[in-house]
Amino acid sequence: MIPHWALNHTHFKDANTYNPDRYLNHRGLATEYASSPDHQNRDHYTYGAGRRICAGIHLAERTQWRMIASLLWAFRIEPAIDAHTGNDIEIDVEAYEDKLITGPKSFQVQFVPRSEEHVAVIMKELESALHVLRAWE
C-alpha cells in the first residue's frame, strides 16, 4: 500500500497549510500526472500509484469535481452555531480518524441555500432524481 498521506506531506512545503495556489501549475487531470514517468511532477498521490493505483480514478475525479461544484453553486457552507452560547462551533482541522483509510472526524457546519432561486432548482432536481430512483423502491 502506498503511504499517500506521507507522500502528500513530503511533496509540498508546509503541507498542513491550506494553499490551493500550490496546484496552479497542475492544470491537468490526476490521470495525466499518475501515468507520467516523472513521479516528482504529481499534483497529489491520493489515488495511489503504480500497479495499485485506483482503477476508478477517471470516474472518481470527475464525480468529485461535479459534486463539489454543485454544492458550492447551491450553498454557502458556514460554521454551525452552538445552541447554548450562540457562538460558532470551531472545527478542529487536526482531528482525524486513526485507521487504514484516514478521514476527518465528524464536525458540524450549516449548508445555507444561496437564494430562493437556488432552492427551486434543487427541488426540481430532487423531484427528477426521485422519479428515477422510485424504480428501485
Give the pLDDT confidence of 69-89 residue by residue, as tens digits.
999 999 999 999 999 999 999
16: left (phi over 0), alpha (psi -120 to 50) or beta: alpha
Q: What is the mean pLDDT of the chain?
A: 88
Q: Are 50 and 2 in contact (CB under 8 A)?
A: yes
The whole-model pTM stands at 0.71
Task: Give the span between the Cα atoms of 55 and 116, in whole angstroms.
Answer: 40
Could you tell me how many residues make up the chain? 137
